[in-house]
Amino acid sequence: MQEINNSSSLEGVLFDLDGTLVDTAPDFIVAVNQLRNAHQLDSLPASGIAEQVSNGSIALTEYAFNITPEHADFPSRRQALLDHYLNCIGQHAALYSGLNDLLERLHKADIPWGIVTNKPIAYAQPLLENLQLIDRCHVLICPDHVSQPKPHPEALFIAAKKINCNVSATAYIGDHDRDIEAGRAAGMKTIAAAYGYISNEQKIEDWRADSIAQQPQDIHSTLERLFSCTI
């Protein structure tokens, strides 16, 4: 039974996708190295690829081939990477440990949860379908649905409206500074996912999130603390 302090009630929870809700790096590691091997190049370390996942396909292509977007082969190699990724999407990715329990608790407490991501819907939807999360998720907002992607807060405003939640009573969780910037701009409580795809150069403390979750299992207690509730 949900017990919530009315002065700071939790109405909804929104997650970034890659590196926050789902560990998608294993799929990208396979895709990047398959493509490199097809070009007679050695496989790259998994850790290096994982650090680039939250930065998107442009960063992954730059990392995979050490070329810039101005390179003549960049568009074709980026598309080839995306094709490899789509072929293996959801085969190696998995919900982070402890988050299935949290999603179940939110469901039992009638607290809707959703996803706000910069991942295009052409990849986000099949990923969630393959992980059997699409029917559990109350809202999925991708760049396809907005005029301005994160760090602009537009996507978060749309998501909160779709799940009928006040922004001040909604949490947004992400592993990139743009996630926290978007959440703060939307007026939501923000949780930085320190376990996500964060490079050594980034200082998560500088993001000014309301709280930092060192492990995915920490999110449950962090939500209860931020919103003075029991889930």
- Pairwise CA distance, residues 202 & 55, whole Å: 13
pLDDT at position 8, please? 54
Active-site option among 16, 23, 175, 177: 16
Enumerate the domain spans of the chain. Answer: 3-23+93-230, 25-88
Binning pLDDT at 50, 70 and 90, where does residue 5 land?
very low
pLDDT above 70 covers a percentage of the chain that reads 97
- What is the average pLDDT score of the chain? 94
Q: Is 18 assigned a catalytic role?
A: yes
Contacts of residue 48, Cβ cutoff 8 Å, sequence gap at least 6: 63
pLDDT beyond 90 at 2: no
Binning pLDDT at 50, 70 and 90, where does residue 204 land?
very high
pLDDT at position 41, please? 96
Active-site option among 18, 23, 27, 175: 18
pLDDT beyond 80 at 166: yes
Q: Whole-model pTM? A: 0.91
Q: 3-23+93-230: CATH homologous superfamily?
A: HAD superfamily/HAD-like (3.40.50.1000)
Q: Is 27 assigned a catalytic role?
A: no
Q: Shortest CA distance to 92 belongs to which of 33, 16, 177, 172?
A: 33
pLDDT beyond 90 at 1: no
Contacts of residue 193, Cβ cutoff 8 Å, sequence gap at least 6: 16, 19, 20, 173, 174, 175, 213, 216, 219
- Pairwise CA distance, residues 80 & 92, whole Å: 19
Q: Shortest CA distance to 60 belongs to which of 129, 14, 123?
A: 123
Contacts of residue 102, Cβ cutoff 8 Å, sequence gap at least 6: 219, 220, 231
